[in-house]
Amino acid sequence: MGYSRGSLALLVLIVLVTAGCTTSSSQPISTPVSSPVLTTITTIPTASNPVPIAEATHAAAQDQPRTTIIPAGFPVQYDGIRFEGDVDINCSLQTVHALDLLDTKSHDDFLTITKYIGVIECRDDWSGMYGWENPPRFRVGKATRDSGVIWYAGAIAHDSCHSRQYNDYAKVHFGETVPLVLFSGEAAEIECINYQYGVLEKIGAPKKMLDYVSNSSSTRYWETKDVWW
C-alpha cells in the first residue's frame, strides 16, 4: 500500500479549484520548477463550526484561501491522503516517510488514520486539525515535520484522533453542532495523547520520546499560545 518506493515518477496531478475562489499570490518555500500545478482551495468557517483545535488564536486564517503550488515530479498523495500547502520536496518526502512508517509498522492504525485525515497541509508555522472539513485536514508545521519521521508519524496519529472525536459524534448526531469539549480541551487531549503513545510504541519510538508524550498533559499545552510546533 502507499506511494511506490521506486523512483519518484511524475504523478498525475489533480487540479482542485473551488468554484468562485480567487488565486492567492503567496509563493512556495522552495524555488518552483517548471510547469507547477496550482491548486486553490477556500475554507470558510460557518457559525456552526468551532475554531480549529488548539488554534483559537489563528481562527481568522480560515477566512483566507489556501494555495498549493506543486512542482512536477513531487509526491502529492499517499493512499488517498492529499498533500497541500507549501509542498516542496522536503515536505513531500517527510510526509510520505511518516505515512509509510505508519502503514508498515502500525497498519491497523494507518487504516483508521486514513478514515479521519484526507488532506495534510504543510506550512511553516503552527499545526492544527480541521476535522469538520470535507475531507478532514491536518495542517502540520515545519517544526513538527523536522522533528523526525517517528515524531511526525505520532503527530499525524494524535490529530487523527481529534478528527475521529469530531466526526464520530457528527455522524451519529447529523446536523447538530459538535460540542467543543468533545474534541478539544483536557479530556480530548488526554485521549489523543494516549492514542499517540500507543502508536509511537508500535512504530519504535525511543523511551525518551514516549516519556515526553506521556508527561505532556502536565504542561497543559492546549491552553497556551507559546507552542513550538
Q: What is the residue-wise DSSP string for 65-77? A: PEEEEE-TTS--E
Nearest to 190 by CA among 167, 163, 161: 161
User: What's the confidence (pLDDT) of residue 227?
Assistant: 56
- Residue ranges in the chain modelled with pLDDT below 50: 2-65
Q: Tell me the CA end-to-end span of the chain in Å, nearest whole number.
A: 29
User: What's the confidence (pLDDT) of residue 81?
Assistant: 95
User: What's the confidence (pLDDT) of residue 122?
Assistant: 93
User: What's the confidence (pLDDT) of residue 218?
Assistant: 85
Nearest to 200 by CA among 148, 161, 137, 151: 151
- Identify whether the C-beta of residue 64 lies closer than 8 Å to the C-beta of residue 46: no
Alpha helices, H only, the chain:
89-105, 107-116, 142-145, 149-172, 186-202, 207-215
Q: Is 203 helix (H, G, I), strand (E, B) or coil?
A: coil
User: What's the confidence (pLDDT) of residue 127?
Assistant: 92
Nearest to 129 by CA among 183, 52, 49, 48: 52
How far from 57 is each of 38, 70, 136, 218, 224, CA to CA, in Å? 28, 28, 20, 22, 10
User: What's the confidence (pLDDT) of residue 99?
Assistant: 97
User: What's the confidence (pLDDT) of residue 72?
Assistant: 63
Q: What is the pLDDT of residues 174-209, one digit of tens each?
A: 989 999 999 998 999 999 999 999 999 999 999 999
